[in-house]
Amino acid sequence: MITEIDLREVLSRSVGAPLSDLVTRSTGAKVRSSIEAQLSERPAGAAVVLDFSSVRVLDCSCADEVVAKLVLGRGVAPGAGQWFVIRGLGEGHAEEIDHVLRRRRLALVAEERDGRSRLLGEVEPAAAAAWRVVVDLGNAGAEEVATTLRLAPAEARQALQAAVAAGVVRQADDRYVPLTAA
Amino acid sequence: MTYVIDVPQVFDERSFDQFAAGFAGAEADARVLVDAHATEWASPAGLIGLLCAGQALLARAGVKPLLTVPAEREVAHYWARAGFFAHAADLFEIHGSVPRVKPNPERNVLLEVTPVTGADDVHAVVGKIQERAAAILTSELGLDPKATMGFGMALSEACQNIVEHAGTGGWVAVQTYSWRALGRRVVVIAVADAGVGFRHTLEATQGKRFGDRWGDATALEAALIQGVSRFRDPGRGQGLAGIRRYLDRWHGKISIRSGTARIALVPAWERDEPLRDGLPPFPGAQVQLVVPAVEREAQ
């Protein structure tokens, strides 16, 4: 099940005014709390799409408070066990989010407006390569990743597990799937 | 006896130390006159620096310092259109004729002198700039449209510095004008407060690390170059780093004066000292960001 969250709508609801600029750390904290409250009613293991399409300005402090802390808390915060994907980013948004994630050694998947995906933040190179194979094939097992990347099977499994740990791929039995795959 | 602080004839970042020296010479209980009658031009940094001085003097003595209005009619009008007198009236006993101006701002005043005390103010400032300045930044300065969103980010982070660290309110102003050394137009964001300053803010978490070297200059280096924050959370301290990235990309300049020191990241088009210490003390922090027009505008 995929939950889509319109950041502009959450922002306006959180601050009680129709705003479209995600700025300031205190605003970010309100937005994150609102999202966490919404996700606490959702089952664990669901993918959550954070939609930035209607957000105009995003500053570093707010990006850290909303995105990085949501990703950081995916194992412990209310709504834990969620997988986060970002959609509708402008180039400037992507840059800010990439930096705040790197600062905390985190990563997530961003879906581009043309439908392609890319990773933001910090992911081990082998895990990033494994993620790309999974995305390109729609889903993959360790053997396919090993063949495509010319890795030993154990190395491929390790790379896939690192991608799962980074929160950019899901594991379904012995297969690995993109976060927003049905 | 009244102590007089002369406002420089051209009051900008470069002449700020002259003004600060005058400010530092005022005794705590002195009646102070801030004399701007001979001032012919003030940058946004100069205008909000005056407000910071007024705020600090008022807080210190409990009585409003005096301020003389520039004698040149055009100068006084410009200050009024930039929104200076609207806030100066709360801090100074103003002497001279304050022009009444229409609310319609000058085209080069992208943001009038605006107080910043909380997150709501930052939202308002960013919203106003995005609506008013985007077209000007793109059409007149030739900035890439992508630079406009980054401009809002940089403005927001600079203003948050006041909200999060100053311990008091501050001001922001944004203008475009010609930068003589560059021979091109620039857009200037000036943000300042009369709060506790960088050294005091960072002292509890960083002072020990620097030992005897700790002071205003090391505090500025720690904040701007090393990206440290008073919080132990690794996600903090990203605001100035974000501003630096933005200015690197668009060949801009940042300078920060706090206490007795000033630090600057100086692009190739500008001559300035990267770090100065032992300056006349001035309260709080004064931040200036300068983003130049693209080169083709000058051709």
Interface of B with A in 112-151 (CB under 8 A): 119, 122-123, 126-127, 130, 146, 149-150
pLDDT band at A75 (very low <50, low <70, confident <90, very high): low
In-domain check, residue A29: yes
Q: Which string of DSSP letters, residue by residue, matches A81-116?
A: T-EEEEES--HHHHHHHHHHHHHTT-EEEEE-TTS-
**Does residue A109 sit within a domain?**
yes
- What lies within 8 Å, CB to CB, of B135 at 6+ separation is none
Shared-domain flag, residues A69 and A130? no
B181-234 residue pLDDT tens: 788 889 999 999 999 999 999 999 888 889 999 999 999 999 999 988 888 888
- pLDDT (0 to 100) of residue A115: 79
Gap from A89 CA to chain B (nearest CA, Å) = 12
Please report, rounded to a whole number, the percentage of residues in chain B having pLDDT higher than 70. Answer: 97
Max CA distance (Å), chain A: 55
Per-residue pLDDT band at B180 (split at 50, 70, 90): confident
Q: What does the alpha-carbon distance between residue B16 and residue B280 come to, in Å, rounded to a whole number?
A: 10
Please say whether the beta carbons of B171 and B87 come within 8 A. Answer: yes
Alpha-carbon span A88 to B171, nearest angstrom = 34
Q: Answer for the pair B174, B129: CB distance below 8 angstroms, yes or no.
A: yes
Give me the percent of chain A exceeding a pLDDT of 70: 95
Q: Does B165 score more than 70 pLDDT?
A: yes
Point out the least confidently predicted range of A52-56, A91-95, B278-282.
A91-95
Residues 85-144 in A contacting B (C-alpha not used; CB under 8 Å): 90-93, 95-96, 99-100, 103-104
pLDDT digits (tens, 9 = 90+) for A48-64: 999 999 999 999 999 99
Residue contact B238–A100, C-beta within 8 A: yes
Q: List chain A residues with CB under 8 Å of B239.
A: 59-61
Confidence of residue A77 (pLDDT cuts 50, 70, 90): low
What's chain B's average pLDDT? Answer: 90
Right CATH for B1-98 from 3.40.50.300, 3.30.750.24, 3.40.30.10, 3.90.1170.50: 3.30.750.24
pLDDT band at residue B7 using 50, 70 and 90 as cut-offs:
very high
Residue B297 confidence (pLDDT)? 44
Task: Report helix, strand or coil for A22.
Answer: strand
pLDDT at residue A64, rounded to an integer: 96
On whether any CB of chain B is under 8 Å from the CB of A26, the answer is: yes
The helix/strand/coil state of A160 is helix
With respect to residue A53, please indicate whether it lies within any of the assigned structural domains. yes
**Mean pLDDT in residue range B30-51:** 96
Contact B234 A19 (CB under 8 A): no
* Alpha-carbon span B299 to B296, nearest angstrom: 5
* Chain A interface mutation, best of B117, B120, B121, B123, highest count of A Cβ atoms under 10 Å: B123
What is the per-residue pLDDT for B104? 61
Give residue B299's pLDDT band: very low, low, confident or very high (50, 70, 90): very low
Q: Mean pLDDT, to the nearest integer, of B248-274?
A: 95
What does the H/E/C string look like for B130-156?
HHHHHHHHHHCCCCCHHHHHHHHHHHH
> Do A72 and A157 have their domain in common?
no
pLDDT averaged over every residue in chain A: 90
A30 vs A82, residue with greater confidence: A30
Chosen from A8, A14, A23 to mutate, greatest number of chain B CBs within 10 A: A23
Q: Residues B142-155: pLDDT tens digits?
A: 877 777 778 999 99
Q: How confident is the model at residue B66 (pLDDT cuts 50, 70, 90)?
A: very high
Residue range(s) of every CATH 3.30.565.10 domain in chain B: 105-299
Q: Which helix (H) or strand (E) holds A13?
A: helix A7-15
pLDDT at A21: 94
* CA dist B255 → A52, A145, B8, B137, B274 (Å): 32, 50, 20, 21, 9
In this structure, chain A runs to a length of 182
Determine the structural domain holding residue A140 and report its residue range: 125-177
Domain B105-299 has CATH 3.30.565.10: yes
CATH classification of the domain holding A155: 1.10.10
Instruction: Give tens-digit pLDDT for B116-141.
Output: 999 999 999 999 988 887 777 888 77
Distance from CA of B233 to the nearest CA of A (A): 9
Q: Is residue A182 part of a domain?
A: no
Residue B241 touches chain A, beta carbons under 8 Å? yes
Q: Is residue A134 part of a domain?
A: yes
Torsion of CA B84, B90, B93, B95, to 10 degrees: 30
On whether both A45 and A103 belong to a single domain, the answer is yes
- Whether complex ipTM tops 0.90: no
Closest CA to A119 of A94, A96, A141, A137: A94
- Are A112 and A131 in the same domain? no
Q: With bands split at pLDDT 50, 70 and 90, how would you rate the model's confidence at A182?
A: low
Q: Which of B181, B195, B292 is nearest to B247 (CA)?
A: B292
> Does residue A36 surpass a pLDDT of 70?
yes
Residue after which a domain boundary falls, among A121, A144, A161: A121
